[in-house]
Amino acid sequence: MKTYVLVGASSRAFGMYAKPLVKDFKDVAKIVGIFDTNSTRAKYIQKNTDPTIPVYTNFDQMMKETKPDAAIITTVDRYHHEYIIKCLEYGCDVITEKPLTIDEEKCNAILEAERRTGKKIIVTFNYRFGPYVTRIKELIKEGAIGKVLSVDFEYLLDTKHGADYFRRWHRRMENCGGLLVHKATHHFDMVNWWIEEEPEEVYANGNLRFYGPTRKERGERCSTCQYARTCEFAVKYHEDPFMKEFYFEAEKEDGYYRDRCVFDDEINIYDTMSVTVKYNKNTILTYSLIAYSPYEGWKISFNGTGGRLEAAEYHSGQKVQEPVYQIKLYNRKDEVVTYDVPKATGGHGGGDERLREMIFRGGLPDPLNHCAGLYDGVNSIMIGICANKSIKEKKMFRVKDLVKM
């Protein structure tokens, strides 16, 4: 039986880790502490999972009293490095939500701490574990299109999911590194894993064009805004039982508003982005992300010496009703082979459940290297970090110039 502490009482901590560990993994895992500076949210997780789990608002006290085998980091992104390093120094392994961290200084500090302590870091790239993403990996690894030469990846956030990043703490670059770090770390990791190469050079463009101060009719937050009745982006989170108890009743402790206006002046992350990446074996990735599409999902194509592979996954819109995902292979003989992959249930394309099995039960075969470690986390965030710097300084950045791997 391994013991774990939750560092950060977020909704992700509750849904992805606390509930499943208490319900489905109680034979192999035990949560021995929940830490957050906001006790209301920590107590909510305690009450709705296992009332005997101690709640702490003092991190060091929790670590000294519980002496866990591993810590699960689910804080705001800007604090990941702080708690990852502290947990390593307390002698426990770390399971951290993506992104690993948000800038190169924090990244180098984590790399040094893992080398110094000898402990292990797992980054929870759950998308890798989905059956559809896994099938793409298998086909590329089998040589279905020969050697991959270029990749085109388009990610579309719709105005339901996408807008939410501009309501929450993610709206500030200093909290999460923007969507190129917080969100795209998933996508960069998928490409890195699919093609088995490391990013070297990054150039990017980005703007805030749709959200931010683009309209006069706006307020501080949806629940008090005079324009809420007519605003298509207004949300009624204060009427939702979970949101009310988990966020609104917790405001008195830290002043965090979950329903901030998406047209606020303080927003400084991008909603329109494009990135070009050159890899160490000369493969080129072109990537784009927008946060205001009518529907949500991703489209990708791989061009290789033996043909082309196309795939797409939809999360909202008309095509989300289709029962299978398809992968299309085009060869040099003008032939097309189509693979149907049944849709998996659960979060992140069925990846959440499979990731938990791999991490918490262990001992499972992993021939495709689904389970991601520290260097995988570094390679994914460094594309986003270099991209942010490229947008700001209007020049190309090399990964090796910023981090010491």
Domains of the chain: 2-126 (3.40.50.720), 130-211+267-347+373-401 (3.30.360.10), 213-262 (no CATH)
Tell me the per-residue pLDDT of 38-53, one tens digit each, with 9 for 90 and over: 999 999 999 999 999 9
Name the pLDDT band for 344 (thresholds 50, 70, 90): confident
Tally of CB atoms within 10 A around 58: 11
CA neighbor of 368 nearest in space, from 52, 170, 136, 208: 136
Backbone angles phi, psi at 86, to 5 degrees: -60, -40
Name the pLDDT band for 31 (thresholds 50, 70, 90): very high
Say if residues 385 and 107 touch (Cβ distance below 8 Å).
yes
Position 321 pLDDT exceeds 90: no
Calculate mean pLDDT across residues 203-213: 98
Tell me the per-residue pLDDT of 368-396, one tens digit each, with 9 for 90 and over: 999 999 999 999 999 999 999 999 999 99
pLDDT at 349: 74
Percent pLDDT > 70 in the chain is: 100
pLDDT at 29: 98
Calculate mean pLDDT across residues 100-108: 98
CA neighbor of 80 nearest in space, from 95, 65, 58, 64: 95
pLDDT at 283: 98
Calculate mean pLDDT across residues 321-336: 94
Q: What angle do CA 16, 253, 173 make, to 5 degrees?
A: 65
Position 271 pLDDT exceeds 90: yes
Say if residues 85 and 113 touch (Cβ distance below 8 Å).
yes
Position 348 pLDDT exceeds 80: no
Q: Give the chain's mean pLDDT.
A: 97
Tell me the per-residue pLDDT of 353-364, one tens digit each, with 9 for 90 and over: 999 999 999 888
Calculate mean pLDDT across residues 27-37: 98
Calculate mean pLDDT across residues 184-195: 98
pLDDT at 277: 99
pLDDT at 320: 87
Position 184 pLDDT exceeds 90: yes
- 3-state secondary structure at position 347: helix
pLDDT at 345: 77
Name the pLDDT band for 405 (thresholds 50, 70, 90): confident
Percent pLDDT > 90 in the chain is: 95
Position 191 pLDDT exceeds 80: yes
Q: What angle do CA 188, 189, 192 make, to 5 degrees?
A: 85
Tell me the per-residue pLDDT of 118-133, one tens digit each, with 9 for 90 and over: 999 999 999 999 999 9
pLDDT at 319: 83
Name the pLDDT band for 176 (thresholds 50, 70, 90): very high
The owner of tokens 């949300």 is: 235
Q: Please tell me the distance from the alpha carbon of residue 296 to that of residue 278, in angstroms, as a whole number.
A: 27
261, β-bridge pairs: none
